[in-house]
């Protein structure tokens, strides 16, 4: 405005309109009002006939600029199209306001000064707009960088070549007892830390500046006066300008106390776990998703002496099983097993299972595997040899007890309890299958008189001899000879018809007589026995095992009644029909 050009008496041309519009468009009503006020005061100061039109022109441009600012939604116009649009508007307004002049002056002004006025206002507005746009970007970037540095978490700072703080963030200021970052500017570590630590910090920074090599993640444990001990990680890098000249250094320090505490806890937990794994009495191994051992303790290797050398971190389960098979270490894994079978066995590793197997050296091992959600497998191996041996001993003892419970102590034959259980079972089977079931009851003749004459010791020896003769009949696995009670015995013959039962009974009767055991109180002078035979067949009227025994007992009674030392039987369909075996034998011949 100070370089105004006088066109006529009181008529002055300058660039006040470009300044006013630029202030309105790029700054808003406030800056526009100030610019308009200054321009109006200056125009009044200049005076002349054109003062009033000049003031009117100032008012028009101010109003148009403010309206354009509102149209732009009260936002600064900073892009090229909006700046050029404002410049065009300034040029148009500069020529439009000339219409306020008298007609003659207006025409002469447009003709002589119109083009320069338009171009100069356009150029001035555009120049102002682009300058402000560039300045805004520059200040915005600077503000962002400054805000990022001062408000960033952790501890950030910039120092010059003399180790003086240039910029710090709030955390650095507060950590050093300052209310704001500005109070830190110009200070060095000697102003903030003990001399020994300050010298060390500055020596480290001097090394960074001298070598140009950054200090990366340097960790240190600090105990500062009035503050709890903390862990920090510090990084420092040299700073260079665009010409490559060293201008200072930037540092960043991170409080890693929580991280270090977690690491220490994790390390302690790992050490404790490793110790527990190493000292545990069981073998432990962890397999990864690829089937290779990730971790195993020494006990795991020791439990497999022949393949222990192959059971180590990195070893694959297939290779371990191959070594185990070749060495013959496991009884359930033959040495000639093929690769396909080994692969199938290896695939079972990734399933939850509990198995027990025996090694070639006689030891028993328990293997439990559990798969995790991440496809890792935990394997726990225990030596259960003592437990297994106790189990087998207990089973053997139980079998012995069962045998004693079902065996007659004197003769070694099955006892009455065993006979009753077998009779019930075989009777049900015969009823379903339709096969015959024979029962023979035997009684040693005049045994009470034998005991009275020769004594109980001789009586026991007699029963043992008779039992041996009876036992010779039971040649099949299903046949059963038992001591029925006292001097009575019973024989159970599944799948045996009447004819066969009678032949067997007669054979035993003869064998007993041939023993030749003296018996002076017997009519036969030697020990003899009487036999009663009953048979259950398909279509029989016998409906219960006790009825079958009752028939055999009735036949035995008849044998006794007819003179003893003989075999009798009851035929199905007759109430009481006695047949001596001699008559049956004649018929058989």
Residues 476 and 557 in one domain: yes
Q: Which residues contact 257 (CB under 8 A, 6 or more apart)?
A: 230, 231
Active-site positions?
487
Least confident range from 86-95, 239-248, 342-351: namely 86-95
Residues 541 and 415 in one domain: yes
Euclidean distance between CA atoms 390 and 394, whole angstroms: 6
Please answer whether residues 429 and 494 qualify as being in contact, where contact means their C-beta atoms are separated by less than 8 angstroms.
yes
Domain boundary among 200, 228, 259: 259
DSSP E strands in 336-396: the ranges are 353-358, 364-371, 377-383
Q: Which of 1, 263, 20, 240 has its CA nearest to residue 125?
A: 20
pLDDT of residue 580: 41
Residues 420 and 569 in one domain: yes
Domain boundary among 259, 289, 308: 259
Q: Based on the number of CB atoms within 10 Å of its own CB, is 497 exposed (0-12), middle (13-18) or buried (19 or more)?
A: middle
Sign of CA dihedral 415, 421, 427, 433: negative
Residues 218 and 253 in one domain: yes
Residue 572 has pLDDT above 90, yes or no: no
Structural domain includes residue 264: no
Euclidean distance between CA atoms 556 and 440, whole angstroms: 9
Structural domain includes residue 195: yes
- DSSP code at position 154: S
Domain count, the chain: 4
Most confident of 98-102, 477-481, 576-580: 477-481
pLDDT tens string 255-282 = 888 888 888 887 777 777 667 666 677 8
Q: Up-side HSE of residue 24: CA atoms within 13 Å toward CB?
A: 28
Q: Which of 65, 62, 58 has its CA nearest to residue 39?
A: 58
**491 φψ region: left (φ > 0), alpha (ψ -120 to 50), beta (else):** beta
Residue 310 has pLDDT above 80, yes or no: yes
pLDDT tens string 368-400 = 999 888 889 999 999 988 888 777 776 765 565
Euclidean distance between CA atoms 490 and 424, whole angstroms: 14
pLDDT of residue 559: 93
Please answer whether residues 23 and 17 qualify as being in contact, where contact means their C-beta atoms are separated by less than 8 angstroms.
no
**9 φψ region: left (φ > 0), alpha (ψ -120 to 50), beta (else):** beta
pLDDT of residue 12: 56
The rounded percent of the chain whose pLDDT value lies above 90 is: 35
Most confident of 108-112, 151-155, 173-177, 272-276: 173-177
pLDDT tens string 407-451 = 888 888 989 888 999 999 999 999 988 899 999 999 999 999 999
CATH assignment of the domain containing 517: 3.30.70.270
Structural domain includes residue 399: no
**Residue given tokens 């009487």 in the structure block:** 530
Residue 7 has pLDDT above 70, yes or no: no
Euclidean distance between CA atoms 156 and 175, whole angstroms: 12
The rounded percent of the chain whose pLDDT value lies above 70 is: 82
3-state secondary structure 112-131: HHHHHHHHHHHHHHHHHHHH
- DSSP output for 305-324: TTTGGG-STT-BHHHHHHHH
Residue 514 has pLDDT above 70, yes or no: yes
pLDDT tens string 24-41 = 777 778 887 887 788 778
Measure the CA dihedral 302/306/311/317, to 10°. Answer: -130
pLDDT of residue 567: 95
pLDDT greater at residue 385 or residue 53: 385
Evaluate if pTM is beyond 0.75. Answer: no
Structural domain includes residue 270: no
Q: Up-side HSE of residue 30: CA atoms within 13 Å toward CB?
A: 2
Euclidean distance between CA atoms 463 and 512, whole angstroms: 11
Structural domain includes residue 273: no
Residue 494 has pLDDT above 90, yes or no: yes
> Average pLDDT of 192-196?
89
**Residue given tokens 């496809």 in the structure block:** 375
Least confident range from 339-343, 448-452, 530-534: namely 339-343
pLDDT of residue 405: 64
Residues 244 and 318 in one domain: no
Domain boundary among 129, 147, 165: 147
Q: Where does 362-415 have alpha helices with state H?
A: 385-405
Q: Which of 236, 234, 237 has its CA nearest to residue 253?
A: 234
How does residue 454 score in pLDDT terms, banded at 50, 70 and 90? very high
Residues 481 and 414 in one domain: yes
Number of H helices, E strands in the chain: 18, 17
Euclidean distance between CA atoms 371 and 355, whole angstroms: 15
Residue 15 has pLDDT above 70, yes or no: no
How does residue 576 score in pLDDT terms, banded at 50, 70 and 90? very low
pLDDT of residue 276: 66
Residues 360 and 505 in one domain: no
Domain that holds residue 124: 5-147
Please answer whether residues 488 and 441 qualify as being in contact, where contact means their C-beta atoms are separated by less than 8 angstroms.
yes
């Amino acid at each position: 405005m100070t370089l105004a050009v006088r066109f006529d008496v009181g008529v002055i041309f300058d660039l006040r309109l470009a300044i006013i519009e630029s202030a309105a468009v790029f700054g808003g009503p406030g800056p526009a009002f100030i610019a308009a006020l200054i321009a109006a005061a200056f125009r009044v100061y200049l005076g002349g006939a054109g003062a009033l039109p000049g003031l009117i022109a100032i008012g028009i441009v101010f109003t148009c600029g403010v309206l354009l600012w509102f149209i732009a939604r009260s936002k600064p116009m900073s892009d090229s199209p909006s700046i050029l649009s404002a410049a065009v508007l300034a040029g148009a307004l500069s020529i439009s306001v000339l219409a306020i002049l008298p007609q003659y002056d207006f025409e002469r002004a447009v003709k002589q000064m119109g083009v320069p006025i338009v171009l100069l206002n356009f150029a001035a507005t555009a120049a102002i707009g682009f300058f402000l746009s560039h300045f805004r970007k520059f200040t915005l970037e600077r503000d962002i960088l400054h805000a990022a540095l001062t408000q960033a978490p952790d501890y950030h700072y910039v120092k010059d070549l003399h180790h003086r703080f240039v910029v710090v963030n709030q955390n650095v200021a507060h950590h050093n007892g300052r209310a704001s970052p500005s109070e830190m500017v110009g200070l060095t570590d000697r102003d903030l830390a003990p001399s020994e630590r300050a010298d060390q910090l500055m020596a480290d920074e001097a090394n960074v500046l001298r070598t140009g090599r950054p200090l990366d993640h340097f960790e240190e444990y600090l105990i500062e006066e009035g503050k709890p001990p903390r862990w920090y990680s510090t990084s420092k890098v040299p700073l260079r300008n665009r010409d490559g000249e060293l201008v200072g250094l930037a540092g960043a320090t991170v409080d890693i106390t929580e991280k270090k505490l977690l690491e220490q806890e994790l390390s302690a937990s790992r050490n404790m776990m490793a110790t527990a794994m190493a000292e545990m009495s069981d073998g432990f191994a962890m397999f990864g998703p690829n089937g290779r051992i990730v971790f195993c303790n020494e006990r795991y290797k020791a439990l497999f002496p022949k393949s222990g050398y192959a059971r180590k971190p990195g070893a694959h389960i297939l290779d371990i099983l191959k070594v185990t098979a070749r060495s013959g270490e496991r009884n359930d894994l033959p040495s000639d097993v093929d690769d396909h079978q080994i692969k199938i066995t290896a695939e079972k590793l990734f399933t939850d299972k509990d198995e027990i197997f025996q090694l070639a050296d006689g030891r028993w091992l328990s293997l439990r595997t559990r798969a995790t959600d991440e496809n890792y497998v935990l394997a726990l191996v225990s030596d259960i040899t003592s437990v297994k041996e106790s189990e087998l001993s207990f089973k053997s003892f139980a079998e012995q007890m069962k045998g004693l419970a079902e065996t007659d102590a004197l003769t070694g034959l099955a006892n009455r309890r065993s006979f009753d259980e077998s009779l019930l079972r075989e009777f049900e089977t015969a009823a379903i299958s339709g096969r015959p079931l024979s029962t023979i009851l035997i009684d040693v003749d005049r045994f009470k008189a034998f005991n009275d004459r020769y004594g109980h010791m001789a009586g026991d020896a007699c029963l043992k001899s008779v039992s041996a003769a009876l036992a010779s009949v039971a040649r099949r696995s299903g046949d059963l000879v038992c001591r029925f009670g006292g001097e009575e015995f019973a024989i159970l013959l599944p799948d045996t018809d009447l004819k066969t039962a009678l032949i067997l009974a007669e054979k035993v009767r003869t064998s007993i007589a041939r023993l030749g055991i003296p018996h002076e109180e017997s009519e036969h002078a030697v020990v003899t026995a009487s036999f009663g035979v009953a048979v259950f067949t398909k279509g029989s009227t016998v409906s219960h095992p006790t009825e079958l025994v009752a028939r055999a007992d009735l036949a035995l009674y008849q044998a006794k009644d007819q003179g003893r030392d003989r075999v009798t039987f009851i035929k199905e369909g007759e109430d009481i029909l006695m047949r001596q075996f001699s008559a049956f034998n004649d018929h058989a011949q």
